[in-house]
Structure 1
Amino acid sequence: MQLKDKVAVITGSARGIGQAIAKRYVLEGARVAIADLDLDAAQKTAKELTALGPGSAIGIAMNVTDEDAVNAGVEKVVETWDGVDILVSNAGIQLVHKIENFPFAEWKKLLSIHLDGAFLTTKACIPHMYKRGGGSVIYMGSVHSKEASPLKSAYVTAKHGLLGLARVISKEGAAHGVRANVICPGFVKTPLVEKQIPEQAKELGVSEEEVVKKIMLGGTVDGEFTTTEDVAEVALLFAAFPTNALTGQSLVVSHGWFME
């Protein structure tokens, strides 16, 4: 087991990509905190994953934009398992508008969840990694960490920002054995993406089928969505990697939608 007895905090993990990563970690022996706004869903997911074993999980409430809530959630994890080894900052939303129509309140909300959330959870977890002599910080980026699409000014800005944050953490954390990486998925058919399909169709004046085939999957090599399991495998790679060789790096998981 690659993560036996490692302690992981995964935000936004009651469902979707975060849940798939949590499941992969538990199967590798980790102890996982399902940190989510929806406590009931987090506890339900934790119970289901614990039943799978060989690792275990707990559900905790966490609003990643609230420093006190983040600190309280991380402290609960430390009280339960005596430390933190892995952080996966995965919580996120998507809001789409043309730039001239983008409400400033929505811009700030999106950036706060993605960027403030990554900052606050890192700030809370990293001292515990330092105490343990090492750890892994993983940010959930996107192909939009590398590329741009219409209607997504806030999202693209946020996802680009995570690359910079990871590089700083890589340099600051190196002396303490802490690595930082960014996973950059293509379109994964989660509720977040499914919500975008009718929104983009309306905004662009095209059919939902065109949004899927041309905009979302037109650039892939096989016309396939990236799966949550694809992303979870990369999250395992970064969390379990034994040296600093990959620190500061990002990996695109997109069926060829974006290549570098």
Structure 2
Amino acid sequence: MFKLKDKIVIITGGGSGIGRAMSLLFAESGADVRIFDYNTDNASSVVDMIMKKGGTAQAYNCDVSDQDQVVSLLKSFERVDVLINNAGISNIGRADNTSVSDFDQVYQVNVKGAYNLLYACLPIMMKQEGASIINMASIAAHVGLADRFAYSMSKGAIAAMTLSVARDYIDYNIRCNSISPARVHTPFVDGFISKNYPGQEEKMFKDLSDSQPIKRMARPEEIAALALYLASDEASFITGSDYPIDGGFITLNN
């Protein structure tokens, strides 16, 4: 079950964090993994790990916010079986103190980045017998999170885009779903805490962990496992759905 033998899988931001876990797991499941990442070193490192284990993978230097670059890269692809829009950035701030530059940066990467990959991949997918798209949303699309105005905006857009794509391309057997994680323990989280709460790292990590009813953050591998299921043929009856993976955050914190 959940095998992706020889399927071409594009994972944006696949060189670190959740994307890295997805890249490794999908390769273990037989996929031909294509990592689109702004950080070439991270992407190449993951490709090396996959190749050493006998898997298949390639790294592409890509700024997902640059449509010309994305379209140019996709011209060499004859098929795309799975697209995972995972690349994203965060931002701290409310509506009254989020700068225009910060708002635009979050929009360019999180929203326009996903759109650019959809724009380039869907024409290829429409010529195939089917495909699966997975967009990384967030619990921020479902609940109000303090000081996450721009980030919440971007993930709300991802949720709406998922529904639109699922509706528009259902007759092409293209499925589109989203995943909404709560906090996931990645190097990004550690760096985020260190940058914004210097000297309070241990306390902030505990506070962020304890904010989940399950009293811990998710592991990247747990998110990757859900993505693998949604990408697989076993999930062929699922489209237009969002999957919270949040340790009970949305339902049990109310």
CA contact (8 A) 2:40 2:61 kept: yes
Match of 1:107 among 85, 103, 119: 103
Partner of 1:247: 239
Whether 1:138 and 2:139 are equivalent positions in the alignment is no
CA deviation vs aligned residue, 1:103-145 (integer Å, no higher than 9, x gap) = 1111010011000011010111111111112101111111112
Task: Specify the SS of the correspondent of 1:8.
Answer: strand
CA contact (8 A) 2:3 2:29 kept: yes
- 232-241 or 39-48, larger mean C-alpha shift: 39-48
Question: Structure 1 residue 199: deviation in Å?
Answer: 5.3
Aligned amino acid, residue 38 of structure 1 = N
Regions of 4+ moved over 6 Å: none
Alpha-carbon distance in structure 2 between the residues aligned to 1:45 and 1:247: 29
Aligned pairs for 1:1-260 within 5 A:
2-53=3-54, 55-76=55-76, 78=77, 82-198=78-194, 201=197, 207-214=200-207, 216-242=208-234, 244-259=236-251
Alpha-carbon distance in structure 2 between the residues aligned to 1:241 and 1:207: 45
Alpha-carbon distance in structure 2 between the residues aligned to 1:174 and 1:258: 29
CA deviation vs aligned residue, 1:143-182 (integer Å, no higher than 9, x gap) = 1121121111000110111111000110111000000011
Alpha-carbon distance in structure 1 between the residues aligned to 2:203 and 2:58: 41
Task: Specify the SS of the correspondent of 2:251.
Answer: coil
Compute the TM-score of the two structures, normalised by the length of structure 1: 0.90
Alpha-carbon distance in structure 2 between the residues aligned to 1:130 and 1:146: 31
Task: Specify the SS of the correspondent of 2:214.
Answer: coil
CA contact (8 A) 1:96 1:200 kept: no
For structure 1, list consecutive stretches of 5 or more residues without a partner in the other structure. Answer: none
Question: Structure 1 residue 99: deviation in Å?
Answer: 2.8
Compute the TM-score of the two structures, normalised by the length of structure 2: 0.92
- Would you say how many aligned residue pairs link Structure 1 and Structure 2? 251
CA RMSD of aligned residues (A): 1.9
Alpha-carbon distance in structure 1 between the residues aligned to 2:158 and 2:50: 28
Aligned amino acid, residue 211 of structure 1 = M
Change (3 A) 1:51 1:75: farther
Alpha-carbon distance in structure 1 between the residues aligned to 2:175 and 2:31: 18
Question: Structure 1 residue 221: deviation in Å?
Answer: 3.1
